[in-house]
Structure 1
Amino acid sequence: MRKRISLLAACGLVAVGLATTPAHAADPAFPVSGPTALPLPVPPATGSPREESLVFTLDVPRTGAGFGGEAVLTVDLTKVAGIATVREDAHGAKEKCTVAATALVCTVRGTLPRVELLVAAAKNAKNGDTGEITVTGKTDGATVTPTTTKLTVGGPDLVMREMALKRDPRPGESQPLPLVFTNAGTHSARGVVLELETTRGMSLVEAYDNCRTRTVADITTALCSVDGDFEPGETYELAGDSPLHVKANQSAYSDRLGYGIHPAGDQPKAAQWDGKTATGKRLGVAKRAAKAAASARAVDLNPGDNRRTFDFAVRNTADFTTAAVSLEGDSGDTLTTAFTFENKGPAWIRGARAGDSAARTVIVMPDGVRVVRKPDGCTATTATGGERAEQLGAPRYVCALGDTVRENQRAVYPFDLKVEKTLVNAKGSVTVGDWGATAPRPHAFDPNPANNTAVLVVNAQDDGTGPRPTPRPSTSAGTPSPGASATPTASASATAAGVKGTGTGSGTTAHGSGNLASTGVTAGPIALGAAALIAAGGALYVAVRRRGPART
């Protein structure tokens, strides 16, 4: 009996073990991705049809199990026979595909397995002919989900005409947009979407219910959907009852307008658009009375000619400024201060090319002072502006802004400076402006280059040549909390939490004793960064920390 019970118990345990063993997970599915449709230019009467690029990609995980690193994709060409020619585009590398009857069999590998093809309408194909390319696949450890691309010979080709606009309007001036486009294709476009894109200094005057807008950074985009059939060979313009105007804002200077036309469904996509504008008006377009003359160029069904841009040079100014800095400290003291850049406007400034710095601040250190902390946005150089590997202790620093500077933008660059010897009236400089060979030069748009340079002085003497300490404000301030930022900030002020102060003066003053400059606030032996700076009346108050002996 005991043996029988033991045997039954063992069988029960086995049964439990079998019941708790997880089922084998289903193989992962890797989809083949590609366009759902591809229009092909109608073959010309003479010469070869133009080829279009067609790419199919096997969407595999970049990491993890499931993909063995190789797959076979089969491109079925059965349904495009007599309609299109298809060949591999190997870009001069080893071909991945072999021809097998009415298919291409392609072996793909790597983290981005793909097949690149060149497709053209067959020589005898007719406008309106259609066909399909289907791609299937196999790989170890996974299933492959196929995809199909529909080919159509011919299609709409919307071409936006260039507008002749006034390049140098004044701030506040508006001008009409004479938008005109042509369908140079062989099929009608069923609905179109007008795209308008303006940079920060320009804006559209009118609003319509069939338009949506969104603003990202300094660019506002409007998409206006217009229903109807837009026939091949016809030219269209804005309807007389729905004009569009673009206006130069008070901050305009070097701005851009982008404008384009797209078949409905092909317009740029965005995750979120602003709410609908309820005006009771809709933007419309009308066919021009006279039919457009036949174009001499071949039909290209090319989305590259759907869009154009226009660059404005608005007659405006932007006043770039900096502030003087006055420090006090004994040998061995470490002073925490900051240097500033400010655009007092009225214009915002955009770099000539994306990625170009719109302005820079150059700081020349006085003799006897060593930089022991700097922000990431500032780069050390030699005294003549050459490259320097060691970033601390340099005689000169260049702080570059991004490729745009907004009106009223302010940047603060915090530094720690160690006084290495006893100094009297030791002077450096702070200069803002455009890129120059050795020093910033004033921008052409800056109406007041005199305020582009300010003095940096340590232990100033009252000889009238340096900034005076800022007078003590009439109200006392609380004690700021410690904290430091190593990156420049763009804000209207740099006021520490719990610290308030007002005053007059031409620059920034700090004392090696650890007092917040001219505010009556004792900061103590703590590091105070950009968050502990107080902007007041154009002067920048700076707290310091002291590690050296007390001054006698």
Structure 2
Amino acid sequence: MSSVSVMRALRRGACTGAVGALVVAGLGTGAAYADEAQTDQLWIQAPYEQAVTVAPADGSAQYRSLALGLYHDNSNFTVTDGRLTVDVSGLAGVAEVLWPDNCTPDGTGSVAVCDTGDVPTRYTPQVQLKVRAAAGAAAGAQGAIEYSAEATGGPDGKLVAPEYSAETSVTVGSGPDLGVSTPQDVSGVEPGSRLTVPFSVTNTGNETAHGFSVRLWATYGLDVVTRYPQCTYTGPDEDGTYTSMTYVTCSFDTEVAPGATVEPPEPLRLAVTDHALYERFDYEVEPGAGATDLDGSDNGRSLHIDADNTADFAVHGTEVSGAAGDTVTAAFRFDNRGPAWVGNVSSGDPVAVLDFYLPEGTTATSVPDTCRNAWKSGDDPAIGHYACTLPMWAKPDLRVGFPFQLRIDRVVPDATGRVVARPDYGTSFAFDPDTENNSAEVVVNPSA
């Protein structure tokens, strides 16, 4: 890798495995019923840990950014006038804080009330503290920042964050602190196109990193085009297991001095395949030579790539016949006709659920392992209801059968059951161009 001159990167919140998921578009939690008593809760978002570098003997330590914010649960309420109280008295002798303009400290300078304005339902940084090690604080010294918060709104007109729900432990350390550049998510990408990932490694620590390792993960709709000799590549299914990921592990011997940034010898490029839809590319860096990174919150990033593509989910029914007392096999089937795959690789949720409402006059005596009794209040008590789950991803041309053993308790001509495909949350698949084939019929004793 080649070294370039850059400014110190700002600290960002942890991203690997924690932000954004490959969630099927169109999923939702559903609106609350108007006649139900509604609740809301205020929350404080703050890092659990924060590392600062020990101050040099002949000067001051560098400040590090500490991102804080408030959010609440229920979007049916408007919550305003957020007030975050930050108590840094526990940092005495360990670290010192530089307050931003939207924080008003008290006379001691150790407690401040920070104005966060309107409170969103999804966390965004609203307060940026600057924290650095105090002069004379030795490596290993620790202190804590405590928080409390309240805001206007919610069912009772005022929301208060749970007591002791957030605290940041601050530790003085010495060593390398590697971080990777932050990408911008992209959408509307054409299948078959290529993207360049802005990948660089910055050392914001106070010691040189003697080499570093890199790990990359690409979902099934992405190919890692760039091949570095320092890396090994394992594609989907290459290791003999059914997987939806490409894994890359690399080891670079490049020295990364404090304040320096290094970039790969050639750009990191991805190919968006013809079966791409909701894709994710993760990358992570760690210092080499057995060194421990001072702060892992910016060691990994995630890039979400939404392709302009579709996946046609289809359900196929069946017809069977038998006499009263007979047990027959009624097997329906799920297909992904593509061209895209669909995967919930982050959440692990099923890519689809099939609701099967049994034909009248029948009882299920044996069901597939991935199906469960889903009868609920409001269903017809005379009709059995089962929910069958798909895996967390569906590749193009996937076919999954669901053979049910049905006992015919009484013969009902043209007894018709139905199978309906739906997301695990929500009611429809936004990526599906043909919703007409998301349901099918299972008919017992059809008329000639």
The TM tier, using the shorter chain, reads 0.5 to 0.7
Q: Which has the larger radius of gyration?
A: 1
Q: How far 1:228 moved relative to its partner?
A: 2.6
Give CA deviations for 1:157-212 in whole Å, capped at 9, x if unaligned: 11111123533311111011221221111111111223221111111112222111
Which consecutive residues of structure 2, in runs of 5 or more, have no partner in the other structure?
Answer: 1-50, 62-90, 96-136, 145-168, 236-240
Q: Secondary structure at the match of 1:167?
A: strand
1:227 is aligned, of 253, 263, 270, to 253
User: Which residue in 1 is equivalent to 2:94?
Assistant: 49
1:249 lines up with 2:273 in the alignment: yes
Q: Secondary structure at the match of 1:168?
A: strand
User: Which residue in 1 is equivalent to 2:442?
Assistant: 456
Q: Secondary structure at the match of 1:362?
A: strand
Matches within 5 A, 1:127-166: 154-164=174-184, 166=186
- Pick closer, same or farther for the CA change 1:385–1:159 going to 2, 3 Å: farther
1:262 is aligned, of 283, 286, 303, to 286
Structure 2: distance between partners of 1:211 and 1:181: 16
Q: How far 1:459 moved relative to its partner?
A: 1.4
More relative contact order, 1 or 2 (CA 8 Å, 6+ apart): 2
| Alignment-mate amino acid for residue 427 of structure 1 | T
User: Which residue in 1 is equivalent to 2:357?
Assistant: 364
Structure 2: distance between partners of 1:251 and 1:317: 9
Matches within 5 A, 1:18-417: 41-43=53-55, 48-49=93-94, 154-164=174-184, 166-215=186-235, 217-239=243-265, 242-265=266-289, 301-351=294-344, 354-382=347-375, 395-417=384-406
Q: RMSD of the TM alignment (CA)?
A: 3.3
1:442 is aligned, of 428, 435, 438, to 428
- Pick closer, same or farther for the CA change 1:421–1:49 going to 2, 3 Å: same
Q: How far 1:319 moved relative to its partner?
A: 1.0
User: Which residue in 1 is equivalent to 2:102?
Assistant: none
Structure 1: distance between partners of 2:373 and 2:313: 22
Structure 1: distance between partners of 2:329 and 2:338: 29
1:421 is aligned, of 390, 410, 423, to 410
- Pick closer, same or farther for the CA change 1:265–1:460 going to 2, 3 Å: farther
Q: How far 1:337 moved relative to its partner?
A: 2.5
| Alignment-mate amino acid for residue 302 of structure 1 | D
Q: How far 1:383 moved relative to its partner?
A: 6.5
Q: Secondary structure at the match of 1:155?
A: coil
Structure 2: distance between partners of 1:182 and 1:191: 12
User: Which residue in 1 is equivalent to 2:36?
Assistant: none
Structure 2: distance between partners of 1:85 and 1:245: 40
Instruction: Tell me if the contact between 2:178 and 2:205 (Cα under 8 Å) persists in the aligned partners.
Output: yes
Q: How far 1:252 moved relative to its partner?
A: 1.0
Q: TM-score, normalised by structure 2?
A: 0.59
Q: How far 1:431 moved relative to its partner?
A: 1.8
- Pick closer, same or farther for the CA change 1:383–1:364 going to 2, 3 Å: farther
Give CA deviations for 1:32-75 in whole Å, capped at 9, x if unaligned: xxxxxxx983146695436xxxxxxxxxxxxxxxxxxxxxxxxx
Q: Secondary structure at the match of 2:297?
A: helix
Instruction: Tell me if the contact between 1:380 and 1:387 (Cα under 8 Å) persists in the aligned partners.
Output: no
Give CA deviations for 1:347-372 in whole Å, capped at 9, x if unaligned: 11123851322101111111111111
Structure 1: distance between partners of 2:400 and 2:440: 15
Which consecutive residues of structure 1, in runs of 5 or more, have no partner in the other structure?
Answer: 1-38, 51-81, 90-117, 122-152, 269-299, 463-552
| Alignment-mate amino acid for residue 401 of structure 2 | V
| Alignment-mate amino acid for residue 166 of structure 1 | V
Q: Secondary structure at the match of 1:322?
A: strand
Structure 2: distance between partners of 1:267 and 1:250: 41
| Alignment-mate amino acid for residue 294 of structure 2 | L
User: Which residue in 2 is equivalent to 1:518?
Assistant: none
- Pick closer, same or farther for the CA change 1:436–1:367 going to 2, 3 Å: farther
Instruction: Tell me if the contact between 1:323 and 1:454 (Cα under 8 Å) persists in the aligned partners.
Output: yes
Structure 1: distance between partners of 2:431 and 2:201: 36
Q: Secondary structure at the match of 2:226?
A: coil
Q: How far 1:257 moved relative to its partner?
A: 0.6
Q: Which moved more, 1:39-48 or 1:305-314?
A: 39-48
| Alignment-mate amino acid for residue 237 of structure 1 | E
Give 1 or 2: higher strand fraction: 2
- Pick closer, same or farther for the CA change 1:307–1:458 going to 2, 3 Å: same
Structure 2: distance between partners of 1:168 and 1:190: 40
| Alignment-mate amino acid for residue 382 of structure 1 | W
Structure 2: distance between partners of 1:446 and 1:387: 29
* Alignment length (residue pairs): 296
Q: TM-score, normalised by structure 1?
A: 0.49
Structure 2: distance between partners of 1:214 and 1:340: 32
Instruction: Tell me if the contact between 1:178 and 1:238 (Cα under 8 Å) persists in the aligned partners.
Output: no
Instruction: Tell me if the contact between 1:40 and 1:155 (Cα under 8 Å) persists in the aligned partners.
Output: no
Structure 2: distance between partners of 1:85 and 1:395: 63
Percent sequence identity is 30
User: Which residue in 2 is equivalent to 1:524?
Assistant: none
Q: Secondary structure at the match of 1:450?
A: helix
Instruction: Tell me if the contact between 2:332 and 2:442 (Cα under 8 Å) persists in the aligned partners.
Output: no
Structure 1: distance between partners of 2:139 and 2:312: 61
Instruction: Tell me if the contact between 1:324 and 1:455 (Cα under 8 Å) persists in the aligned partners.
Output: yes
